[in-house]
Amino acid sequence: MKTLSIKVKGAILSVMILLICLFIWHIATTQKIAPSSGTSANSSEYNALMGQGSGETVQKTGFPTLTQMGQTIYKQLSHPFYDNGPNDKGIGIQLAYSLARVGLGFLLAMLVAIPFGFWIGMSPLAYEAFNPFIQILKPISPLAWMPIALYTIKDSSISGIFVIFICSVWPMLLNTAFGVGSVRKELLNVTKTLEVSPLRKAFLVILPSAAPTILTGMRISMGIAWLVIVAAEMLVGGTGIGYFLWNEWNNLALSSVIFAILLIGIVGMLLDTAFSKLQKVVSYAD
């Protein structure tokens, strides 16, 4: 009951903070200045073209108002899957391209990192042999691999998937190795006593014990992958939420840029929440 009360209070506080932020946004973007008495003919013509009367106030800031943001959000979400050509696709299609690239690159990283992490986690010799190479490659920015990927693969979309693979593989690999290497010795001694086969030992003893740590690595990898794909798509262009954001900036559509940023944050939060739920499923009390 106490935990529920804290969650409810936290939710109420979050709503209050959001309302305060929206109020500050509203105040900051709707400041007005009175028109000067000596309005020129050119200014009058400009106001007429913009739908303003000569006696109306004008907006002081170019940052989009809450009303403009609402209109942009409604416009983008009302028809999210339209396709009018290479440079004019709905936000749903752009988001689907990004999620597909992240999902494929992440899956390939899982297929490499988890088995390899199992091996070096169970073999101290293999860990010591490969650890120097891992430590050298791990700090390299994933985007630094983009020129090499574009040169060798010669396809921007596949290059983006390769970059996701590179950035996702290291957290999963190291967390898997750490989780496997941290399995309690008592459990391993029991498997030796019972003469359990290596395959059964891996799936029935080591994997359940290391699963929370492996999921932690996967959660970190997904967060990095979603962060990197936006930057990669801004560089290579074509399709995706990163390309959409950059294209809207080039069109000086600031409200669409902010909408894309909010959408990136929301999708990232949902992905992280999904992995958090999976962590709770595989976690158990010692």
**From its phi and psi, is residue 240 left (phi > 0), alpha (psi between -120 and 50) or beta?**
left
Number of domains in the chain: 2
pLDDT for res 52 = 47
Q: Which residues pair with 101 in a beta bridge?
A: none
pLDDT for res 3 = 59
* Long-range interactions of 19-26: CB distance < 8 A, separation 24+: 22/66, 25/66, 26/65, 26/66
175: tokens are: 């967390």
Q: Which residues pair with 58 in a beta bridge?
A: 33
- CB 257: neighbour CB atoms within 10 A? 20
pLDDT for res 285 = 44
Residue showing tokens 């909408």: 259
Residue at which a domain ends, from 47, 63, 79? 63
Residue 177 to residue 114: CA distance in whole angstroms: 8
pLDDT for res 183 = 79
Could you tell me if residue 80 is inside a domain? no
Could you tell me if residue 68 is inside a domain? no
Nearest to 280 by CA among 218, 222, 233, 211: 211
Per-residue pLDDT of the chain in tens (286 residues, 90 and over written 9): 555 688 888 888 999 999 999 889 888 887 654 454 444 445 555 455 444 444 444 444 478 888 888 998 998 888 888 888 777 888 999 999 999 999 999 999 999 999 999 899 888 899 999 999 999 999 998 889 988 888 888 888 888 899 999 999 999 999 999 988 887 777 777 777 776 777 777 777 788 888 889 999 999 999 999 999 988 888 887 888 999 999 888 888 888 999 999 999 999 999 999 999 988 888 764 4
Could you tell me if residue 36 is inside a domain? yes
98: tokens are: 């990004």
Residue showing tokens 């009175």: 34
pLDDT for res 32 = 53
The secondary structure of residue 58, as a DSSP letter, is E
My answer on whether 45 and 129 are in the same domain is no
Could you tell me if residue 266 is inside a domain? yes
What are the φ/ψ torsions at residue 77 (nearest 5 degrees)? -90, -15
Could you tell me if residue 216 is inside a domain? yes
Strands (E), the chain: 32-33, 58-59
Could you tell me if residue 46 is inside a domain? yes
CATH number, position 210: 1.10.3720.10
Residue showing tokens 């690999």: 173
pLDDT for res 55 = 46
pLDDT for res 58 = 40
Q: Which residues pair with 83 in a beta bridge?
A: 89
Residue at which a domain ends, from 63, 83, 105? 63
Structural domain of 36: 2-63
My answer on whether 105 and 223 are in the same domain is yes
